[in-house]
Amino acid sequence: MGRILLKNMILLHEDGQETGDILIEGEKIAKTGTSLSEDGVETVIDGEGRLAACPGLFDMHVHFRDPGLTHKEDINTGAAAALAGGFTGVACMPNTNPPIDNAETIRYVIDKAKDTGVKVYPVACMTKGMVGAEPSDFMELKKAGAIAVSDDGKPVKNAEIMRQVLELSKETGLLAISHCEDLDIINGGIIHKGEISKRLGVSGMDRASEDSITAREIALAYCGEARIHIAHVSTKGSVELIRDAKRRGVKVTCETCPHYFYYTDEKLLSRDADFRMNPPLREESDRIAVLDAVLDGTIDCIVTDHAPHAAEEKADFLKAPNGVVGLETSLAAVLSKLVHEKGMPLYRIAEIMSAAPRRLLGLSEIRLEAGFPADITVFDPFLEWTVEPQKLHSKSKNTVFKGEKLKGRTVYTISDGIIRYKLEN
């Protein structure tokens, strides 16, 4: 590994930004400052006061489909997509085949990810086999390397089982991440229940499905003095429940995805299954509520819920599985909608897409300071580009942003002091 100098960069920190240089030696940041010497430096990247550098992005909610569903994605292609999007770390969900509910599968994920340049942390199943009948052995999972627990993709239907999960979460320190959905309310719905579902003549997914389980998880966390993290928030009701719970001191945190503050269910009028995910795109009032909640800090972090599916699986609008890819468009969507359109300070990228998810998972912090790991995302906040699905690094191309013109893009991704990704002209 050689010496790398990032010069004339907009350096983003959790609480502000400055212009300066970063010298990388080996796997660490050796020095920061201004007008650092280029003597003995093998690679110089001049930001010319335009490029921004922040601690490597981290996505705490992705699906890499490995093991068992690798026709959709595998750890190597998922990591390549992550690097192209500026992510140096991810937490991968356990709904694989077999599910990640044992030490052997956790070790498989960790071992396969070792040489990808992306730090891949397995999220293990809350319940054995993801069937909701019995909590997993949290201590065994933690010892094997699990970073959190979730049955994402499936709700834990039984409230007593969920209470036990939160108790075990509190004992072991493994964050419980809840997929908030009442399947009895869903009752076969495939898109948001509202005017658009009526016009299309398809079964809808009522907001009450998400809101009722969000309320349950908050109540269980409050009673047990435990932490709960709400996955992929999509409704105005859940936003208000979480905002109120935080005011009351409940240990609740949450995440959302760019598509929930970017689009509404009107996208489904095209009958294109690439706009189907779970939870679904909702109405304008929900979109605005989610967007405002990111801006005011109610929503703690941005994730992608990167969920690859093969083209043939997405071909039938009514029968297609839910899910969209997002690792390569997330930063650009956040920059386009939140920074350029809504005026969010650029430095908040370092908080909501890097520091916050690491902190929630109990990982070591990464800062743009001497002695810290050289995991750095360099991006151009102003570079305009059009999303072309066929050019994505993911094995699957099911993106909601296809054909969208976005403003901002990753230019370099550095992990362990090595340039792992460089945007080609």
Point out the residues that are catalytic. 305
Contacts of 323 (CB under 8 A, 6+ apart): 63, 276, 277, 278, 305, 307, 308, 309, 398
The CA distance from 129 to 132, in Å, is 8
Q: Give yes or no for a contact between 368 and 21, defined as CB atoms under 8 angstroms apart.
A: no
Which helix (H) or strand (E) segment holds residue 350: the answer is helix 348-350
| Six-digit token string for 364 | 């070591």
Report the SS3 class of residue 365. coil
DSSP conformation class of 104 = H
Q: Give yes or no for a contact between 12 and 19, defined as CB atoms under 8 angstroms apart.
A: no
CA distances 282 to 37, 263, 316, Å, are 52, 8, 21
The CA distance from 109 to 362, in Å, is 19
Report the SS3 class of residue 262. helix
| Six-digit token string for 30 | 């050796």
Contacts of 22 (CB under 8 A, 6+ apart): 5, 6, 9, 11, 29, 31, 32, 53, 368, 376
Residue with tokens 């490597």, as numbered in its chain: 56
The CA distance from 158 to 165, in Å, is 11
CA distances 227 to 75, 146, 164, 220, 361, Å, are 29, 17, 13, 9, 11
Contacts of 343 (CB under 8 A, 6+ apart): none
| Six-digit token string for 140 | 């065994």
